[in-house]
Every structure is written in C-alpha cells, then in structure tokens.
Amino acid sequence: MLGKFFQKPESEQSDRVPPGQYLAKGFPVLTYGDTPEIRTEDWEFKVWGLATPKTFSWSDIMAMPQSEFTADFHCVTRWSKLDVTWRGIKVTDFMKQVEVDPQAVHIMEHCYGGYTTNITKEDFLREENFFAHTLFDEPLSADHGGPLRLVVPHLYAWKSAKWINGLEFLDEEALGFWERNGYHKRGEPWAEERYSGLF
Ligand SMILES: Nc1nc2c(c(=O)[nH]1)N[C@H]1C(S)=C(S)[C@@H](COP(=O)(O)O)O[C@H]1N2
Ligand SMILES: [Mo]
C-alpha cells in the first residue's frame, strides 16, 4: 500500500494524521457510482422535513457570504490529505436562511445521483463546516463534487457529500447509503469510527 500512492507522514505532520491513515499523494477521487454533471443554471438545492420547505438557486447560494477555509480530509479507506484549501459558504451562514423546527435533531444529506449520508444536527452546525464550490483556487470539478459539495472536516470524508442538493431535517437518527452498508453512523477519524460493528 505504501509507495506509489501513499507516503508515511513526516514527523511534524504525524500528529495531524489520525490512527491507521496514510498521506495521499495528489487528491484521490472516491465516488460510488456515476459522476453527475449539473449545470449551475439547472442546479437546485432544497430543504424539507422538519424545516420550512425552501428551494435555493445557484445565484441564491452565491449571494451568501463567501469564505475561504483550509482543512484536513480523511477517507475511511485510509488516505488523508492535509491542508486542502476551499472556498464556499459556511454552513452556519447558509442556515441563517433556513427555518428549522426545534424538534429536528438529525439531518439526511441528499445528492444528485442518489447518494445520502446522515449527520446529527450538532455535528452539522459546526463553524468549520462548509458548502464548497472552489478547490485550490479552481472551480470544483465534477469528480470532486462540483458545482457544490459539503465539507465536514471533523468526520470521515464520506460525510462530505458531493453534488449535495438537499437537507432533510429529522426528529430521529436515520442511516444514509454507507451507514446502511456497514459504516459507522458518526465516523470520527481520531476514534477510528470506521464500521458499525453490525455487519
Ligand atoms: N455524492 C457522493 N458524495 C460522496 C461520495 C460519493 O460516492 N457520492 N463519496 C464520499 C467518500 S467515501 C469520500 S472519501 C469523499 C471523496 O471526495 P473526493 O472524491 O473529492 O476525494 O466524498 C464523499 N462524498
Ligand atoms: Mo471515503
């Protein structure tokens, strides 16, 4: 596994690489299924469930405050990439335009292509979470989830939904695609929450 695609962390970086992870060379693409191609003119983002239903267009999103952010990225298949720089909209800024029922405790992230992943409201509403449209100063490519993806740096990257197009607010936990297929419901990399243990 080491060599061509992975390298051992340098000592000054090793405290930033969670247990069982290796540094990737480049930025691998990890997608289950086909890569959707969505033009921003056709793009829509919806919120529903225990929130007042609302549809956002691309221009609605671009009119929100724009921020830069740098974060480490950890895939459960054991590669990590440090210092990824993104530009986009903070989840907390986006959520100022969403009216959520206080009963909502959990969220299902929905995507073009049908991928889903679940997250608690607490893990979702963190200051370091972003909807990203720019990666290393380039428009986010379709492979990496463009035109818009979620980035949740403190959890394994399968929670960082590519081509995200909706949030469903729920009054209880529900499982997304990988979580139904054996991945951990939360996925915290420092605790190595990789698998649910149910399979
Ligand atoms: N819609 C969607 N989002 C997704 C995935 C996917 O298959 N479909 N894969 C996840 C996984 S397992 C990882 S590691 C990251 C990979 O992001 P990257 O391809 O930009 O490296 O996207 C996550 N988000
Ligand atoms: Mo992953």
Residue 14 counted as domain residue: no
Residue 21 counted as domain residue: no
Residue 6 counted as domain residue: no
Task: From 77, 115, 152, 162, give the residue whose CB has the most ligand 1 atoms within 8 Å, as the site to mutate.
Answer: 162
Residue 34 counted as domain residue: no
Residue 4 counted as domain residue: no
Ligand nearest to the CA of 181: 1
Model confidence at 198, pLDDT cuts 50, 70, 90, reads low
14-37 pLDDT per residue, tens: 899 999 999 998 999 999 999 999
What share of the chain in percent tops pLDDT 90? 90
Residue 23 counted as domain residue: no
Model confidence at 43, pLDDT cuts 50, 70, 90, reads very high
Full residue range of the structural domain in which residue 89 is found: 41-191
3-state secondary structure the chain: CCCCCEECCCHHHHCCCCCCCEEECCCCCCCCCCCCCCCCCCCEEEEEECECCEEEEHHHHHCCCCEEEEEEEECCCCEEEEEEEEEEEEHHHHHHHCCECCCCCEEEEEECCCCEEEEEHHHHCCCCCEEEEEECCEECCCCCCCCCEEECCCCCHHHCCCCEEEEEEECCCCCCHHHHCCECCCCCHHHCCCECCCC
Residue 68 counted as domain residue: yes
Residue 2 counted as domain residue: no
Kindly tell me if the per-residue pLDDT of 2 is higher than 60: no
Identify the CATH number of the domain in which residue 129 sits: 3.90.420.10
**What pLDDT is attached to residue 5?**
72
Ligand 2 is an ion; its neighbours by CB within 5 Å are 30, 75, 157-158
Ligand 1 pocket residues where CB is under 6 Å:
27-32, 75, 111, 113, 115, 144-145, 157-158, 160-163
50-79 pLDDT per residue, tens: 999 999 999 999 999 999 999 999 999 999
Domain tally, the chain? 1
